[in-house]
C-alpha cells in the first residue's frame, strides 16, 4: 500500500523527503514537486487551497504505473496549523482531525480517523480572527490546505487523514509572512 502525503512547503515535509530525488511534473499548467519511494509519495505545490488541490491531483495522476494499478491506500494532508482551541497551548501539539471544514462554504468532509475538527481557511488568521472563527466553527485548529486535499481524496475514493502540528497558539498574533 502506498501512502500519498501532501504538504504546502518543502520544509514541512523535510524529514520525509531527505535523501529522496524529487522531480517536477507539469500538471494543469502548474509545476508540482513530487517525491516517490516504494511506500511513500509526496507532493508539494505551495500554500493555500488551489496549490494543495493541484498537488494532490498531480500526485494521484503522476504516480508510478505500479502504484496507479494498485491505487494508493491513504492520502494525508501534513503540515502546520494554528490553534483554535486553548486545549492546544503548546507548539508542536499534533492534531489528527475527524472532520475537515471549509471556511469558504461550511462544507465538511469526514476523515478516515481522528478527533475534533480542522478548519481550512483562505488566509492566515490573526488572534482576533481566530477568536471569531473559534466561535463560529467547531474546530480545534486552522490551516489552509486540508479541505482541498480531502476533496481530491474523496473524488478519487482514497481514504484520507490530516496530520497537523500546531505552529501558533490561540492568542499568537500571527501575521502574513513573506515568501522564502
pLDDT, tens digit, for every residue of 77-121? Answer: 999 998 898 777 666 789 999 999 999 999 999 999 999 999 999
- Quote the cell numbers at residue 10: 518543502
What secondary structure letter does DSSP report for 21?
P
Amino acid 25: pLDDT = 87
Three-state secondary structure readout of 35-93: EECCCEEEEECCCCHHHHHHHHHHHHHCCCHHHHHHCCCEEEEEEEEEECCCCCCCCCC
- Quote the cell numbers at residue 121: 481557511
Q: Is the pLDDT of residue 64 over 60?
A: no
Report the C-alpha gap between 131 and 171 in whole angstroms.
8
Q: Which whole number is the average pLDDT over 131-151?
A: 91
First to last CA, the chain: 34
Q: Is the pLDDT of residue 179 over 60?
A: no
Looking only at the bridges linking them, the beta strands covering 141-143 and 40-44 are unpaired
Structural domains in the chain, CATH included, are 3-168 (3.40.50.1580)
Amino acid 178: pLDDT = 40
CA angle at residue 127 from 126 to 131, to 5 degrees?
115
Report the C-alpha gap between 70 and 8 in whole angstroms.
26
Q: What is the mean pLDDT of the chain?
A: 85
Band of residue 67 on the pLDDT scale cut at 50, 70, 90: low
Residue pLDDT, tens place only, 21-57: 888 888 888 888 888 888 888 888 888 898 899 999 9
Percent over 70 (pLDDT), the chain: 87
What secondary structure letter does DSSP report for 171?
T
Amino acid at each position: 500500500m502506498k501512502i500519498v502525503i501532501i504538504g504546502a512547503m518543502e520544509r514541512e515535509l523535510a524529514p520525509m523527503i531527505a535523501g529522496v530525488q524529487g522531480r517536477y511534473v507539469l500538471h494543469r499548467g502548474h509545476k508540482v514537486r513530487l517525491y516517490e519511494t516504494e511506500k511513500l509519495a509526496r507532493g508539494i505545490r505551495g500554500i493555500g487551497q488551489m496549490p494543495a488541490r493541484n498537488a494532490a491531483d498531480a500526485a494521484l495522476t503522476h504516480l508510478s504505473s505500479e502504484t496507479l494499478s494498485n491505487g494508493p491506500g491513504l492520502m494525508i494532508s501534513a503540515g502546520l496549523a494554528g490553534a483554535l482551541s486553548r486545549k492546544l497551548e503548546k507548539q508542536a501539539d499534533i492534531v489528527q482531525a475527524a472532520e475537515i471544514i471549509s471556511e469558504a462554504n461550511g462544507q465538511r468532509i469526514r476523515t478516515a480517523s481522528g478527533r475534533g475538527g480542522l478548519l481550512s481557511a483562505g488566509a492566515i488568521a490573526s488572534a482576533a480572527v481566530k477568536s471569531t472563527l473559534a466561535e463560529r466553527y467547531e474546530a480545534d485548529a486552522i490551516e489552509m490546505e486540508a479541505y482541498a486535499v480531502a476533496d481530491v481524496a474523496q473524488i478519487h475514493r482514497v481514504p484520507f487523514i490530516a496530520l497537523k502540528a500546531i505552529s501558533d497558539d490561540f492568542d499568537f498574533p500571527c501575521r502574513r509572512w513573506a515568501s522564502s
